[in-house]
Structure 1
Amino acid sequence: MYIKKEYSFTDLLNNSWSGATQVLEKIEEDGRENEAMGIIEETFYGEVPTDTQVNDFIWFDLADIMGLYEE
């Protein structure tokens, strides 16, 4: 079965797990939700990623791309 669904930032936060949840909470705390969504949309443009692909991208790549934990 193939299901395609559009997610908002809140949907991502509610459906993520492990380290991705902490990354999304930090993004929300910093008020950078729109920036994060733009990066995610650009990264997966033209494809329909699985939930795991999106979660792993958020967990392992997004924080570095956005410089979330840089001082």
Structure 2
Amino acid sequence: MMKVALTEWQESATCCWCEKERECVSTTFSDGFLKEALMCWKCLQTAFKVRSRQQTDKGQPEKPATSN
């Protein structure tokens, strides 16, 4: 199971994802995806969704190729 640690809040910092000046938190994903990365709340949600989908996709077997 993936865990995300939020350790430090910054009233104004540059988000590593969208590169905009916003309220950010220091974010570390337990699987190593990001480590101590400053992210705004919106981008944190997006990053979590992206990483969750990647882990779900890895667990599913590949679909066999079909010929037409």
So what's the TM-score if we normalise by structure 2? 0.34
Please tell me whether Structure 1 or Structure 2 has the larger radius of gyration of its CA atoms: 2
For CA contacts below 8 A with separation 6 or more, give which structure has more relative contact order. Answer: 1
